[in-house]
Amino acid sequence: MRNEEGYATVATAGFAAALITLCGATIVVSSLVVAHHEARVAADLAAVAGAFAAYRGEDACLVVGAVAGDNGASISSCSVEGVDVTVTARVRGREVSATAGPV
């Protein structure tokens, strides 16, 4: 007969390791999703603020940078064509573009 003492300990350790790995992967993916949403919000708000600044005749990209910074993002690019403003915002490595202008 084989001695099976300690089997439950080994199995429990294996299940615990699998559960910890799954939780870690979930946290990483969740962090990427949150960063994407934060970048989307920052880009949208910055584009709208920039379009409004361009409409008033102000420096749109200066306003875009300030609004994005207030939302925890950095600006990768900002382009103004008339009163249409296109912004690319970056949050924790995730980049999102947004365009705003008059309707």
DSSP 8-state assignment for residue 56 = T
pLDDT bracket for residue 4 (50, 70, 90) = confident
Q: Is 87 exposed, middle or buried (0-12, 13-18, 19+ CB in 10 A)?
A: buried
Q: What is the CATH number of the domain that holds 12?
A: 3.30.1300
For residue 1, being part of any structural domain is answered with: no
Domain encompassing residue 76: 7-100
- Whether the pLDDT of residue 50 is over 90: the answer is yes
Domain count, the chain: 1
User: Which of 56, 59, 96, 54 lies closest to 75 in space, CA to CA?
Assistant: 96
Say if CB 28 and CB 82 are below 8 A apart.
no
Give the model's pLDDT for residue 82: 82
Dump pLDDT digits (tens) for 93-103. Answer: 999 999 998 87
